[in-house]
Amino acid sequence: MSARLTPVIAGFIPLLDSAVLVVAAEQGFAEQEGIALKLVRETSWANIRDRIAVGHFDVAHMLAPMPIAATLNLTSLAVPMRAPMLLGLGGNAITVTSELWREMAGAGADEYGDPASTGRALADVINAGKVVGKAPLRFGVVHPFSGHAYELRYWLAAADIDPDLDVEISVLAPQIMADALAEGQLDGYCVGEPWNTAAVIAGAGRVATYKQAIWPNSPEKVLGVTQKWANENPETLASLMRALSKAADWCSAPENAELLAATLSRSDLLACSKSLCLPALTGNMQFDQRLITQIPKFLTFSGGVKAMPSPAQGKWFYEQMVRWQQVNASAEALKHVAEVYAPDLYGEALGLTPVLDARTPKLFDDTNH
């Protein structure tokens, strides 16, 4: 390691949206900014949360709501955090077993994943199951404080399915979701790519709907950093974000998709086949064994202003925490949320003017909520 480079240790989970950190290290963008970026693969989001809290990691690939939960003292080893940069938009889907999809299709579910249509169909299946005494369906999410959990709950509730009474929701690591579905331990799950595609290719699952249809262009992963580390290392953080912005632009270039997929598939990263990575990177999503459909911006990476966090994004996550009784609503908490998602650190690092948007992000057309 060159003496002129500043070491930064980053934790990540094997998902496609770790790509920005991977590319910053692999393509030299971090080194260009004076950073020696070391990536450490972790197995669960709980480990990411705990290891950054105790200082094993300087920064981390992190679930977008997680810095809010830590700052509001809702998790173990909670510490004040910042989400100074968005690492990926979209990229999640809700996948169900092939058997459940057949029932939903029989109830009129849109084959292209319209969330209102598929939600209504699922409600019909659940209500029919209640009549004959079937056990509740079992769904998986990656963490209680995750976009996955809130998107799944929002989709269910919009169809008048009570996420706490009508189904069972459990937490599993992303990379074992497809196996759990195949083994009959789950009826469905919400996870990031490539672990929806893994179930589809294996013939075990079918994509029912996806994040871009529920909350278009919404943050999925962020750069997570403790407030303490950000305060003590402002220049290093600024340099890192400049490197990550360049890496994000590289990831978003269509001509780099093949190389990006090959890199991410390596055994030390996602440890999967290249073919599992390409659908989300190109937008050519395979919903089942026969249907491949183009979804623009299914998963997007971009530097510049698009990677700038907004208090409105944090506010929506916080509102879901309140809605699902994970936290009590308060003006003080909302103030902290705005600070977690404040755009100032990223804006200053890249010389950009923050565009503050106080509006609640618009989700899919939902007349009930």
- pLDDT for 332-364, tens place per residue? 999 999 999 999 999 999 999 876 555 555 677
Residue 355 lies in a domain: no
Kindly give, in sequence order, each residue whose CB lies less than 8 Å from that of residue 192, ignoring residues fewer than 6 positions away.
15, 16, 17, 91, 92, 142, 148, 174, 220, 221
> Does residue 290 register a pLDDT over 60?
yes
How many angstroms separate the CA atoms of 158 and 211, rounded?
A: 14
If asked whether residues 234 and 346 sit together in one domain, one would say yes
For the stretch 81-139, pLDDT in tens is 999 999 999 999 999 999 999 999 999 999 999 999 999 999 999 999 999 999 999 99
**CATH code of the domain covering residue 42:** 3.40.190.10
For the stretch 146-184, pLDDT in tens is 999 999 999 999 999 999 999 999 999 999 999 999 999
Residue 282 lies in a domain: no
Domain boundary among 173, 189, 214: 214
If asked whether residues 67 and 122 sit together in one domain, one would say no
Owning domain of residue 59: 6-89+219-270+302-350
Residue, of 76 and 62, whose pLDDT is higher: 62
Q: Range with the lowest mean pLDDT among 219-223, 246-250, 316-320, 350-354?
A: 350-354
If asked whether residues 252 and 152 sit together in one domain, one would say no
Helices (H), 185-255: 195-201, 211-214, 227-232, 234-252
Residue 358 lies in a domain: no
Residue 151 lies in a domain: yes
How many angstroms separate the CA atoms of 294 and 129, rounded?
A: 33
Domain boundary among 214, 242, 260: 214
If asked whether residues 198 and 240 sit together in one domain, one would say no
If asked whether residues 125 and 154 sit together in one domain, one would say yes
Residue 288 lies in a domain: no
Residue 264 lies in a domain: yes
If asked whether residues 184 and 152 sit together in one domain, one would say yes
> Does residue 367 register a pLDDT over 70?
no
pTM: 0.94
Domain boundary among 192, 214, 236: 214
Q: Number of C-alpha atoms within 13 angstroms, CB side, residue 354?
A: 19
If asked whether residues 245 and 181 sit together in one domain, one would say no
Residue 368 lies in a domain: no
If asked whether residues 85 and 223 sit together in one domain, one would say yes
Residue 62 lies in a domain: yes
Kindly give, in sequence order, each residue whose CB lies less than 8 Å from that of residue 120, ignoring residues fewer than 6 positions away.
107, 108, 109, 159
pLDDT value of position 365: 61
Number of domains within the chain: 2
Query: What would the mean pLDDT of 239-250 be, rounded to a whole number?
Result: 98
Percent of the chain with pLDDT over 70: 95
> Quick one: which of 219, 252, 225, 246 has its CA closest to 345?
225
> Quick one: which of 43, 20, 59 has its CA closest to 143?
43
If asked whether residues 101 and 66 sit together in one domain, one would say no
If asked whether residues 324 and 249 sit together in one domain, one would say yes
If asked whether residues 57 and 103 sit together in one domain, one would say no
If asked whether residues 11 and 70 sit together in one domain, one would say yes
